[in-house]
Structure 1
């Protein structure tokens, strides 16, 4: 048995605000991934759906919802929910089935029809739910948390508004060539600075939108890939879905208090740093091996945090790394060549899958207009509400 699974197909429905049911986006993405893989739907033995909690009962049972839309075939299904990390959980479920020998080829699908504005708690009074409490007690939407992180970065590491704007300018330049991106227009630093303040110090163009979209992957065993004549497929060699370790001393959504570090020493790595490094360890690589990375830029400031969390630089070095051009196309390790959330917006259960779609196209050399030259190793990383880590290493 091998530790790698092949990515035979990748497909997406473009991000936007389309006003249609989420299943339609997932269906379009699934059909695109199947066509890319050269695999017929009846051949799929397992379907993993990344669940969405804002689209009624079909969203909770996304695996079955997508299988029904494609046409019941008898395939096994599962549904995974882990907030922004849902897609990685679904990939992990399919990968586990393949590596365990329970199936040869699987389909992973995630899609969302997102609300306008920011994400709110699902309806109902739930005083035991931290996500409900942070709105009820603090009135703190997601952008408020993003702003707190940004202020901390400014205070601790000397980040400036110009640095945040430079992240947006970079990602907008990358995303203009991506046919699946929602926003395909370059912006200037002046336009970022002139956009309305949403949560000080972050402006409208510093924060990702909420979007509709869908993404899908066809995964298989290496033996199945070879049987289809695919000798050198993109391979997933590392996948991390870690959770925090006690004591957790960094505030993360939706918490509004941290653990005390008086009774126990902090863990070796903070939670967000541990996400990527667990995937590195499984894949047998380090950050120095990366050709590119897709990180979860919910805000421009958070992208800078991710540079440090995935090991591209030491803490406090993200601003210098950005200013050097290392994370832009043509630089040492381009970050978010897809355009990132800055150009897509967030379709929660689809986003981690979309990140792996981008890695797949980059490693195949087919990311037209945004190609990272000679890409061999890619990382996709994000973090979901309630302590869900998500990191995928793909190689070719």
Structure 2
């Protein structure tokens, strides 16, 4: 059975504590927008997977109750930075498996200001990502900079040493995504920067500067996932975007065997998830028009180009430098501004990516519209680990 997205919604992503609101307020705003976009009511919804990382157990119910008290099952989902796409995957599985005709995937996060921690409470010995940071410490040591910036920054250093990738090429990712966000009213930042300005920004962990790192953010996103018969019954053909294929992968021995931060941060997971999606959809990267990928740090965008098959290993720096991943190029990557500029509320990010792609494939993205977009790809990854790749398609 096919699954379709017929409604999406999100809040503006904002710096924590910008607005005086609770997580259930932002979830209500995003969920209501998604339901209104689909032209349905919460009473049509049969199940609700809800993603978040920093709230307590059953926060999903507290958020969903703002949309209605219908007694439907609510699932609380936590999968690090891949949380929202995991909730979306659950929604798709409920529909494709024939269990439900209408499921609401909801994600939100209310975060604290400052750098993101190491991915778990307590010390790194008990952290779920201790093994990943152990790989880093063995090869690079451990410094007093934000742990996530360290492991990705060290991945960047390895890529530079092995392939000759330059700091300017890394900065080109940040410059591109900040430039794209100028046209996105939902983005946390809407300022354009040159490559030189990105390079001149404060260093977080060499070679990554502040303008190459995603910020902590408050925000929420939602998507209504339905069956083909629901589309037909409600006359939603004009709103429907097909989930052509979707896959989640987790760490394998390859993530740790090499002792490389490039592998530990998830490039092998992303590569395998992409392979599965292409096989299931009968499509390849050459068929994709627009991409929203997990640029938590600029280097991860480059690593993901390679994992998705957009270029050969080591060629990603040249790819972004060539203009192939912006307007007028082969693909438009992160037209929303990506995590670097749009923001990164962990529990909402993956669904927000799909919201952007849904608008793109419907031709509703206004000034950031990718002309003629018919196939979109979303990539969402979390340390510890999970990689989710989603391929969306809309018939002409």
User: What residue ranges of structure 2 are gaps of 5+ in the alignment?
Assistant: none
Instruction: Provide, for residues 80-129 of structure 1, a one-character-per-residue CA deviation record: whole Å limited to 9, x for no partner.
Output: 21111111111111111112222111111101011222222544457343
- Report the counterpart of residue 5 of structure 1 in structure 2: 3
Q: Secondary structure at the match of 1:119?
A: coil
Q: Do the aligned residues in 2 keep the contact of 1:254 with 1:386 (CA within 8 Å)?
A: no
Q: Is the alpha carbon distance of 1:348 and 1:231 closer, same or farther for their aligned partners in structure 2, counting shifts above 3 Å?
A: same
Trace 1:276-315 onto structure 2 (pairs within 5 A). 276-315=274-313
Alignment partner, residue 265 of structure 1: none
- Cα contact 1:254–1:385 (8 A) shared by 2: no
1:106 to 99, 103, 108: 103
1-side partners of 2:113 and 2:123: how far apart?
Answer: 21
**Equivalent in the alignment of 2:69:** 72
Alpha carbons of structure 1 residues 221 and 250: separation in structure 2 relative to 1, 3 Å:
farther
Alpha-carbon separation, structure 1, partners of 2:354 and 2:156: 27
Structure 1 residue runs of 5 or longer lacking an equivalent are 259-268
> Residues 377 and 394 of structure 1 are in contact (CA less than 8 Å); yes or no, is this contact kept in structure 2?
yes
Aligned runs of 1:1-396 on 2, under 5 Å? 2=1, 4-19=2-17, 20-52=21-53, 54-55=54-55, 57=56, 60-120=57-117, 121-124=119-122, 127-131=125-129, 134=133, 138=142, 141-232=147-238, 233-248=240-255, 249=257, 270-396=268-394
What's the TM-score, normalizing by structure 1? 0.90
Distance in 2 (alpha carbons) for counterparts of 1:51 and 1:251: 30
Distance 2:16 2:126 in 1: 35
User: 1:348 is paired with a residue of what secondary structure?
Assistant: coil
- How large is the Cα RMSD of the aligned pairs? 2.4
Within 1, Cα distance between the matches of 2:294 and 2:265?
23
Contact kept? 2:120, 2:128, Cα under 8 Å: no
Superposition deviation, residue 323 in structure 1: 2.1
Are the counterparts in 1 of residues 83 and 347 from structure 2 also a CA contact under 8 Å?
yes
Asked if structure 2 preserves the Cα contact closer than 8 Å seen for 1:110 and 1:216, the reply is yes
Residue-by-residue CA offset, 1:339-391 (whole Å, 9 max, x unaligned): 10121221101001111001100000111111111111111002112121111
**SS of 1:14's equivalent?**
coil
2:188 counterpart SS class = coil
Structure 2 CA distance for aligned equivalents of residues 251 and 385 of structure 1: 16
Runs of 4+ in 1 over 6 A off after TM superposition: 252-258
Deviation at 1:280, TM superposition (A): 1.7
Distance in 2 of aligned mates of 1:247 and 1:15: 35
Q: Secondary structure at the match of 1:16?
A: coil
- Supply the distance in 2 between the matched residues of 1:73 and 1:130 (Cα, whole angstroms): 35
Q: Output the CA distance in 1 between the equivalents of 2:384 and 2:96.
A: 28
**CA pair 173-22 structure 1, distance change in 2 beyond 3 A:** same
Q: Distance in 2 between matches of 1:117 and 1:289?
A: 39
How far residue 61 of structure 1 moved from its aligned partner, in angstroms, is 2.5
- C-alpha distance after superposition, 1:34-86 (max 9, x if no partner): 1100011111111110132x22x2xx324322222223112122122111111
3-state SS of 1:297 partner: coil
TM-score normalised by structure 2 residue count: 0.90
Query: Structure 1 residues 207 and 250 mapped into 2: Cα distance closer, same or farther (>3 Å)?
Result: farther
